[in-house]
Amino acid sequence: FITVKQHQQDVFFRALFTSVDRVTKRINLELPTTVYRVQMRRHPRAMVLHREDIRLIYADPQDQNRILKRKLYDLSIGGAAIILFYGEERHHHIRQRIEGITLQIGSYPISMWATVRHMSLFPPTSGIQGVQLGLQFSHLNPKDEKLVGDLVEKELMRQFSSVDDEEDDLGSSKKD
C-alpha cells in the first residue's frame, strides 16, 4: 500500500512494485488502478466502529457524577467521532471544552482534553441509531499521539486489505 501525502491531503492506493534505481534512489511502480481513499484532513482518520476495545470515557457535562463510556465511530491523532444516545446531545454544545477525557485502547488509558466541533444525526442508511459528536483532541502527549497514529495506520491498512478481499470475493482478479 502506498500513501502519498500532500498538504492536508492523503491518497491511499495499492500499486505493484516494478524496480529500484539504486543510482537515483527511486522506486518504480505501476500506475494504480484503484484509489482506496482520499482524505482532506490534517491527520488520517480510520473508522473504528467495529473495535469493542476502544472507548472514550468522560464525565457527563451536566452531571459530573455520571460517567459516560462511548463507542468511537472514527479516530485520528487530531480527534474522534463518538456515538451518543438520542437526547445526550443536549448535554453538549459546539466549542464546548471537555477536560479529563480518557481514550481507552484495550487496557491502555490516554488522558486528554477535547473540544466539541460538530454534532449530527447518523443518516438512516448507516444503520447507526444515535448522534455523532465530533471532537478535536488537545493536551495529548507525544508518546500517546504516536500510539494513536500507529493504531489509525494499522486500521487503515486492515480496511484496505478487506476491500481487496471483497473484490476477490466478487470474482475480480488482482492481475486485471
Per-10-residue mean pLDDT for the chain, 176 residues long? 52 73 80 64 80 94 91 93 90 93 95 94 85 94 94 84 48 38
Asked if residues 94 and 118 have their Cβ atoms less than 8 Å apart, the reply is yes
Rounded Cα–Cα distance for residues 49 and 71 (Å): 7
Amino acid identity of residue 48, one-letter, is V
pLDDT of residue 52: 92
pTM for the full predicted model: 0.69
pLDDT of residue 157: 81
pLDDT of residue 168: 40
pLDDT of residue 176: 37
Asked if residues 133 and 73 have their Cβ atoms less than 8 Å apart, the reply is no
User: Which of helix, strand or coil describes residue 153?
Assistant: helix
pLDDT of residue 30: 78
